[in-house]
Amino acid sequence: MNPAHAIEVRNVKKKFKIFYDKGNDLKDRILFRNRNHYEDRWVLNGISFDVKKGEAIGLIGHNGCGKSTTLKLLTKILYPDEGTIEMSGRVSSLIELGAGFHPDMTGRENIYTNASIFGLTKKEIDKRLPEIIAFSELEEFIDNPVRTYSSGMYMRLAFSVAINVDANILLIDEILAVGDANFQKKCFDKLREIKAHGTTIVIVSHALEQIEQICETSYWIEDGLIKDSGIPKQVHDHYLKSMEEKRNQQLEKKHHQENQVQPEQPAPEQLPDFCEKTAVRMGTGAIRFTNAILCNLENQKQFIFNTEDKIKIILEYQSFQPNLKGNFGYGIFREDGLHCYGTNILIETGACIPVQEKGRLEIIFQNSLLPAKYFLDIAVHSHDGIIFDDIRQVLSFVVSSDKYDIGVCRLHSQFSWR
């Protein structure tokens, strides 16, 4: 195993037996043996990836694609039918929160039991106990039996134990929605903290924004294989476009079935010439962008700007439905996927605007971004969030500067001394 890696997954395959009509008891199985037919369903068909020590990765995909199965293989709840998995260090998993809790034991007693499952000694648990209790915010209930806890209190305690065991590798499956909004933020801040201290993290989640905030890499699993991997924002854009295309195909199929017409296979949409080759487009098509231009205040096309320049975005569009109102907006992402800024008409003015059959918008902003390559996203939605047109990475541009300040953007600072 490479010493720089915390996890190495090599050509892992996993199958499950899917019974057509399995008997519920021994009598049924004997009398109705013909019902005991099953098929082998391969959930994973040979996935491979490495996770470096201290790296955070996200696993995404639709329900049943194999994300959670992969995580259970990493925790050794399941074992692969083929391939190998190697891991280095103590592993903590937030998959089945509170799986080791006993309802008749107190919260304090369950902390000791659950933490010991993660490999901590009694001395180590004694040392961490005050921090675990404080993080859970259950001080006044900690000596009550956990059967008296609400589901939210139960999950808080379980999360607090799992997050405070000083693991080298932390595996998380869809549990970042623990408790109220404040506690969720607290949990997410804790994940950032332990990542900063070198913990390797693997997250399975449908909350793509959370993965983008904490992970360096995303892996999109589909049909038991890794379909795409890389910078989370870019992988997620491709994933969302694929989901949107499938949803539209299902709606079209349903429409044709209702009208007893055989569905036609839609032709793949070609990106317009004004888009980058890496652009991703989605939406209903009720409104379509027909052009997008980055330029200076003299309307001259430009793709290299200085920090402090004013940048103009010109958007042209066509509407295919009458009496629509549109919420036009834009976003800027750095090349590594960092979300630098985003706004729209609804945020800026409090209302959507009437859409013309053919229209044009101009947006001017003061560029405070520091030198790097950036991508522009553009979108138009309805007031209630229906996507008419959304083009990710429609254009790219570069920012340069003759100064040497660092970070994401320039903050105008004044120094004084005496």
What does 174-221 look like in DSSP terms, one character per residue? S----SSHHHHHHHHHHHHHHHHTT-EEEEE-S-HHHHHHH-SEEEEE
> Does residue 195 contact residue 57 with C-beta atoms inside 8 Å?
no
Name the stretches of the chain with pLDDT < 50: 261-267
Residues 306 and 167 in one domain: no
Residues 215 and 288 in one domain: no
The Cβ-side half-sphere exposure at 172, using a 13 Å CA radius, reads: 30
Residues 190 and 91 in one domain: yes
Q: Which domain holds residue 373?
A: 278-400
Alpha-carbon distance values, 145 to 96, 129, 130, 155 (Å): 20, 17, 18, 14
pLDDT of res. 278: 86
CA atoms of 325 and 344, how far apart (whole Å): 13
Instruction: Tell me, yes or no, whether 414 lies in a domain.
Output: no
pLDDT of res. 392: 93
Best CA proximity match to 343, nearest among 371, 320, 372, 366: 366
Instruction: Tell me, yes or no, whether 133 lies in a domain.
Output: yes
Taking phi first (over 0 means left), then psi (-120 to 50 degrees means alpha), and beta for anything else, what does residue 308 get? Answer: left
Residues 218 and 285 in one domain: no
pLDDT of res. 245: 77
Q: What residue type is assigned to position 237 of the chain?
A: D
Residues 180 and 296 in one domain: no
For position 327, which CATH number holds?
A: 2.70.50.60
Residues 286 and 215 in one domain: no
Residues 132 and 50 in one domain: yes
Alpha-carbon distance values, 102 to 25, 40, 178, 223 (Å): 29, 36, 20, 38
Instruction: Tell me, yes or no, whether 239 lies in a domain.
Output: no
Cα-Cα-Cα-Cα dihedral of 243, 244, 248, 249, to 10°?
-30
Best CA proximity match to 388, nearest among 359, 362, 363: 359
pLDDT of res. 184: 76
For position 169, which CATH number holds?
A: 3.40.50.300
Q: Which residue among 231, 263, 290 closes a domain?
A: 231
Instruction: Tell me, yes or no, whether 406 lies in a domain.
Output: no
pLDDT of res. 36: 59
Q: Which residue among 206, 231, 256 closes a domain?
A: 231
Total domain count for the chain? 2
CA atoms of 81 and 347, how far apart (whole Å): 52
pLDDT of res. 177: 57
Residues 163 and 45 in one domain: yes
pLDDT of res. 266: 43
